[in-house]
Amino acid sequence: MSGFQPEFVDSATGARLCLRVMEAEGPARGIVMIHHGLAEHGGRYERFARYLASRGYHACAHDHRGHGQTSAPDAPPRVYALKDGWMKVMGDARFVREHMMARFPGLPLIVFGHSMGGVIAMNQAMDEHQHLAGVAVWNANLALGGLAGLMRALLWIEGLFRKPAGPSLWLNALTFEAWGKQVKKARTDCDWLSRIPEEVDAYIADPLCGWPASRLLWRDFVNGFERGEDGARLENMARDLPIHLAGGGADPATNNGKAVKILAGRLYNNRFTRVTLRHDPKARHETLNEIGYEQAMSDLADWADRIIAEGRVPQ
């Protein structure tokens, strides 16, 4: 069984992707492709990948452009790309999906994403639903609405006096800093991530986590939000695609879980027939590193077992 160590593959976008793979224990039932969140990396998902392997799933996670150990000529640290960043992120996602399906042929593939990764997962489902057995979107805010326009305006103003590849101090203040201030009696600025002190400390100690994203990355990420909320793109998705949503009632990044419920409502209203919503009223942002993460992992694997047993056959 592979041990989730970094290996490097060359994406069609020109990126050299840091990819980690944990192979299933015993006969494999499927593949779970993991998309990590903003200002972190795929290596943080080893515990989740190991659990999935114990349940019969090959699991993989690659570092997105600008993150972790992935590199590209057009992607400095903390930048997706100097041009067309969001589309290149999605191109990498397509490449990894094709790579894993070729590496483990004949197995159904599920896409999982946390936070930024959830936005990527939803966009990938819109683009590639015909190839997927299901999609899990956890702790992602796909209900920004007019806030996306405000973010774009702030980035434009900030661009008058800051370099494109430099950090966006305003967007960082609007997001990470503001979320940290919403936790009462916080021990650290990162307590909004989890109620488990050891998990928060590990995040803070990781040199590949917690950095302020660049103006370029935020600009491209706003594109991802808008595409992920696009009603016309949602209309074109297969209504029988299984979709698993999860959120925490104490997660400031999703307006205390309200954004996840809004997305669920949109899917129900658009006649999606296989939507599952998991809501933990006390959980903060990182469900997989929160109190009750064992049950959360079990719930995801149980859902994966059910949808594979039901036998939706992607093209």
Q: pTM (2 decimals)?
A: 0.97
Structural domains of the chain, count: 1
313 band by pLDDT with thresholds 50, 70 and 90? low
pLDDT in tens, 277-300: 999 999 999 999 999 999 999 999
For residue 23, the enclosing domain spans 7-145+221-310
Is 216 a member of any domain? no
pLDDT at 315: 52
pLDDT in tens, 34-91: 999 999 999 999 999 999 999 999 999 999 999 999 999 999 999 999 999 999 999 9
- Cβ neighbours for 238, distance < 8 A, ≥ 6 positions apart: 129, 130
Measured CA to CA, the distance from residue 217 to residue 165 in angstroms comes to 8
| Nearest CA-CA partner of 10 in 126, 98, 84, 119 | 98
Residue 122: pLDDT over 90: yes
pLDDT at 250: 98
Is 70 a member of any domain? yes
Tell me, what amino acid is at 163? K
Measured CA to CA, the distance from residue 84 to residue 172 in angstroms comes to 22
Is 211 a member of any domain? no
pLDDT at 105: 97
Q: What are phi and psi of 211, to 5 degrees?
A: -85, 155
Is 118 a member of any domain? yes
Q: What average pLDDT does the chain have?
A: 96
Is 163 a member of any domain? no
pLDDT in tens, 191-215: 999 999 999 999 999 999 999 999 9
CATH classification at residue 48: 3.40.50.1820
Is 265 a member of any domain? yes
Is 99 a member of any domain? yes
